[in-house]
Each structure stands twice: as structure tokens, then as C-alpha cells.
Amino acid sequence: MAELKPCPFCDMSPNTYINVGTREAKFAVFCPSCGCEQYVKRDVSDNYFHVYREAMEEAESLWNTRVRE
């Protein structure tokens, strides 16, 4: 798990979550202060652990490379 950078909009520490359904999962990093988020959705119908890990790492990487627009 990567060290997450603060929110580029309000400088608060982000949180992470995983929302798993029957066929799809949403892996997200979000700011509890301003509500912005970066997420990745994956098909998880096969329930492979590496899918979860890789998707969370991708969401973290996307979050850490965000810039203020």
C-alpha cells in the first residue's frame, strides 16, 4: 500500500474504501473533507485476490498523481 498524499484541493488526509458487489468492485481513495475521490472499478466475478490488490494500488497511484486544476 502506497503512502497517500494529502488532498490537492483542501490538504486533508484521504481515506480508502472498497465496495464489492457480486460482479464488480469499486476501489477508491477519497477526501472526507471536500468529498473528491479517485476510483477504479474492476470485474471481480472470479474473486481473485490479485485483482483487489492491483486495483487498490492503481487507485492510490491515480490519487497521488492528481493536481489541482
pLDDT of residue 14: 96
Residues of the chain with pLDDT under 50: none
- Which pLDDT value is given to residue 1? 60
What integer pLDDT is reported at residue 46 of this predicted model? 65
pLDDT of 48 reads: 64
Asked if 67 and 37 touch (Cβ cutoff 8 Å), the reply is no
> Where does residue 8 rank: exposed (0-12), middle (13-18), buried (19+ CB within 10 A)?
middle
Q: How far is CA 3 from CA 20, 27, 68, in A?
A: 23, 16, 19
